[in-house]
Chain A
Amino acid sequence: MIFFLETLIGGLLAGTMYSLVAIGFVLIFKASGVFNFAQGAMLLFSALTFVSLQEHGIPFLQSLLLTVVVIVIGAVAIERAVLRPLMNRSQITLFMATLGLSFILEGLAQGLMGAEVRALDLGIEDTPLMLGEVMVSQFDLVAASTAAVLVTVLALLFNKTHIGISLRAVADDTRAALSIGINLNRIWQIVWAVAGCAGLVAGLLWGARQGVQFSLSLVVLKALPVLIIGGFTSIGGAIVGGLIVGAAENLAEVYVGPSIGGGITPWFAYFLALVFLHVRPAGLFGERAIERV
Chain B
Amino acid sequence: MTPPPILQVDNIEVVYEQVILAVHGVSLSLAEGQIVALLGANGAGKSSTLKAISALVGAERGEVVAGRVLYRDEDVTRTAPDVLVRGGLVQVLEGRHCFGHLSVEENLLAGALAGRASRAAVQGELERIYRYFPRLKERRRSLAGYTSGGEQQMLAIGRALMAQPRVVLLDEPSMGLAPLIVDEIFDIVARLNVEQGVSFLLAEQNASVALRHANHAYILESGRVVAHGTAEALSARSDIHELYLGAGVAA
Contact = CB atoms under 8 A, between A and B. Distances in A.
A11 B61 CA distance: 47
Contacts of A175: 56, 59-60, 93, 97
A168 interface: yes
B92 A172 contact: no
Interface string A174-185: 111111111100
Residue of B84, B99, B109, B111 contacting most chain A CB atoms (<10 Å): B99
Contacts of B109: 162, 165
Given A179-B90, A180-B160, A173 B59 contact: no
A181 B81 contact: yes
B139 to A, nearest CB: 17
Nearest to B55: A178
A166 interface: yes
Contacts of B213: none
B56 A180 contact: no
Query: What's the interface size class on A, roughly?
Result: 20 to 34
Contacts of B113: 162, 165-166, 169, 180-182
Contacts of B59: 88, 174-175, 178
Interface residues of B, number: 34
Interface string A245-264: 00000000000000000000
B26 interface: no
A174 B97 CA distance: 10
Contact of A181 (B60, B106, B107, B114): B114
A99 B101 CA distance: 31
Interface in B58-75: 58-61
A88 B61 contact: yes
Interface string B150-192: 0000000001101100000000000000000000000000000
A176 B111 CA distance: 10
B61 A181 contact: no
A87 to B, nearest CB: 8
A179 B93 contact: yes
Contact of A179 (B56, B80, B102, B106): B56
Interface string B28-55: 0000000000000000000000000010
Contact of A165 (B54, B60, B106): B106
Chain B contact residues, majority secondary structure: helix
Interface in A172-213: 172-183
B86 interface: yes
A176 B99 CA distance: 8
Contact of A180 (B58, B60, B80, B111): B111
Contacts of B115: 181
Nearest to B113: A166
Contacts of B90: 179-181
B82 A168 contact: no
Given A168-B102, A169-B102, A172-B102, A179 B110 contact: no
A177 B58 CA distance: 14
B86 A179 contact: no
B229 interface: no
Interface in A139-188: 162, 165-166, 168-169, 171-183
B93 A172 contact: no
B99 A179 contact: no
A284 B109 CA distance: 30
Contacts of A168: 99, 101-102, 106
B100 interface: yes
A261 B97 CA distance: 55
A154 to B, nearest CB: 16
A172 B114 contact: no
B100 A172 contact: yes
Nearest to B111: A180
Contacts of B162: 180
B85 interface: yes
Interface in B92-144: 92-93, 97-102, 106-107, 109-111, 113-115
Residue of A173, A178, A180 contacting most chain B CB atoms (<10 Å): A180
B91 interface: yes
A179 B97 contact: yes
Contact of A176 (B82, B93, B163): B93
Interface of A: 88, 162, 165-166, 168-169, 171-183, 287
22 contacts: A162-B113, A165-B102, A165-B106, A169-B99, A169-B110, A173-B97, A173-B98, A173-B100, A175-B97, A176-B93, A176-B98, A179-B97, A180-B85, A180-B114, A180-B159, A180-B162, A181-B84, A181-B90, A181-B115, A181-B163, A182-B113, A183-B80
Instruction: Enumerate the 7 nearest inter-chain pairs by beta-carbon distance, A residue then B residue, closest first.
Output: A181-B85, A181-B114, A176-B97, A172-B99, A181-B82, A169-B110, A183-B82
